[in-house]
Amino acid sequence: MKSSFLYQRLLRFEETIGIVLSIFVFGAIALQVITRFVFHAPLFWTEEAARYLFVWMVAMGAAECVRSRSHISMDVFVLMLPDRLRILLRTLLNMVVVAALLMLVWYGYFGMLRANRVVSVTLGVSEAFLYGALPVGAALMAFRMVIVIIENIRFLITGQSSPDNKDTILVQDSRERSL
């Protein structure tokens, strides 16, 4: 799939957010270790801040793993299937995953609304900030999965692979090796 300017900007934005979250998680944990073991006066808010930021970092990372197809999968039998059947099966399974992710968005949103009434003890922010990672991460994963589905359908129709689509690249590589 030819990446649009908007899609590239979204990728760059997500990467930047992931890097910033990683830096802040590391900073909060380092600050906790230094204040606890060097100054013997730990800051009480750093552990909770690191936990909140880590949850968001995982949600953003899971969306990136959908794009790069880095999630763990059991594909021993799937790889034995013919190319087109393998891509078709993965496309159908991805559609099921999108449905599950949309359910996570739906129920996660209402969980976030319920958590809005609870305030964290040390940070003093709404728990909705923590619970918001679920619907946002699931929405990003669903968006990315829809792009994967579109790429797979395009491959099934035209036989042309996207440079980003690892499913169809495997098919192209095996064809080139057999020539």
User: Tell me: the pLDDT tens digits for 90-110?
Assistant: 999 999 999 999 999 999 999
CA distances for 34 relative to 25, 29, 30, 41, 103, angstroms: 14, 9, 6, 9, 42
Q: Rounded to two decimals, what is the model's pTM?
A: 0.83
Residue 166 reports pLDDT greater than 70? no
Residue 55 reports pLDDT greater than 50? yes
pLDDT on residue 171: 54
- Count of domains forming the chain: 1
Kindly report the backbone phi and psi dihedral angles of residue 4, in degrees, each rounded to the nearest multiple of 5, phi listed first: -80, 165
Taking CA 37 as the corner, what is the angle to CA 34 and CA 43, rounded to the nearest 5 degrees?
60
> For residue 97, what is the enclosing H or E element?
helix 83-115
The domain of 24 spans 5-178
CB 65 within 8 A of CB 71: yes
User: Tell me: the pLDDT tens digits for 14-43?
Assistant: 889 989 999 999 999 999 999 999 999 999
- Mean of the per-residue pLDDT values of the chain: 87
pLDDT on residue 20: 95
Q: Per mean pLDDT, which range of 72-81, 129-138, 167-176 is the poorest?
A: 167-176
- CA 92, CA 149: separation in Å to the nearest integer? 8
